[in-house]
Amino acid sequence: MAVLASALLLVSLAAAAEPDDPECIAPARPGGGFDLTCKLARAALNDSKLLTRPLRITYMPGGIGAVAYNTVVAQRPADGNIIVAFSGGSLLNLAQGKFGKYNVNDVRWLAGVGADYGMIAVRADSPYQNLKQLVAAVKANPSEIVFGAGGTVGSQDWIKTVLIARQAGVSHQQMRYVAFEGGGETTTALLGGHIQAASGDLSEVMPQLDQRKIRVLAVMSDKRLPGRLSAIPTAREQGFDIVWPIIRGFYVGPKVSAADYAYWETSFRKVMATPQFARLREGYDLFPFSLTGAQMDAYVKRQVQEYRKIATQFGLVYQTL
């Protein structure tokens, strides 16, 4: 059966033409999670020769994916050359109606290639050694602690902070929060001392963590992560019952042909089944999450509904789905 399945994958892949000019759109400036997601795809697909032409990366910042989403749907709906990176933050904004007139049904969800986890970080020289200390400082004087993150009010990074605050008995209306365009800008602001704490995704800050420029106070996983991350405590073990995984993946335009979609989907499915991809994903500080095609579509739509429930608690839903 395994041999037959493999043969069918190869036949399906051969039936669709390879993109002439493969492109991955990262919907933010360089340096954040979207950039990382595109770079993972480029390394995986080009190194495996499933793409023989270089996968180029272009940057389209704005609205945690909103600008890219609207551009692809309205201007490039049938372009089979492009894949667009998305994250759990993109889905949260979709759940709130922040992508304008378009909703979760307006693109074709392609693949999920890895998972990340939310985290709260401070500079390495910060006086706060753990999440409890930081939250205590916020509770004592909310105006003194400025949080920063790669998204506006209502983004997943904002929601992570307010969920923590709510469990500590602090109103989100008291918190000081600065929005940046992507994780790269947030980290720069943290290192520059412009904010006191950053809410973001663990993979975005791994270089600074390895260089001991920052301290991660808590990771929002259900249990401690393996390897060199095992020393980082979870939010849950510090008394804050918050688990926030972030999937990373890709979608294509709504009118991309069946053959072009099949090429991308089969390519991702094939490469993610290899040991080489597992090592590559680990090198990008991501954790296992592999879905494609109809399974990915179903997962995304379930997740959007779950995010919508959370957003509704804070009065953040702006339109019906």
Last residue of a domain, one of 217, 238, 259: 238
- The per-residue pLDDT for 117 is 93
Q: Strand 197-201 relative to strand 146-149: parallel, antiparallel, unpaired?
A: parallel
Q: Is residue 280 part of a domain?
A: yes
Domain extent at residue 121: 117-238
| Alpha carbon of residue 194 to chain centroid | 24
Element (H, E) at 82: strand 82-87
- The per-residue pLDDT for 150 is 80
| CATH code, 90 | 3.40.190.150
* Same-domain status, 92 and 233: no
* Same-domain status, 99 and 131: no
| Alpha carbon of residue 254 to chain centroid | 21
Q: Is residue 319 part of a domain?
A: no
Round the average pLDDT of the chain to a whole number and report it. Answer: 90
pLDDT tens digits along 72-96? 999 999 999 999 999 988 999 899 9
Q: Is residue 6 part of a domain?
A: no
Q: How far apart are CA 146 and CA 134, in angstroms?
A: 11
Give the pLDDT band of residue 319 (cuts 50, 70, 90): low
Last residue of a domain, one of 211, 238, 265: 238
Q: Domains in the chain: how many in total? A: 2
First to last CA, the chain: 41
* 3-state DSSP assignment of residue 25: strand
| CATH code, 189 | 3.40.190.10
- The per-residue pLDDT for 44 is 98
* Same-domain status, 75 and 135: no
User: Other CB atoms closer than 10 Å to residue 54's CB: what's the count?
Assistant: 12
DSSP string, 234-256: BTGGGT-----EEEEEEEE-TT-
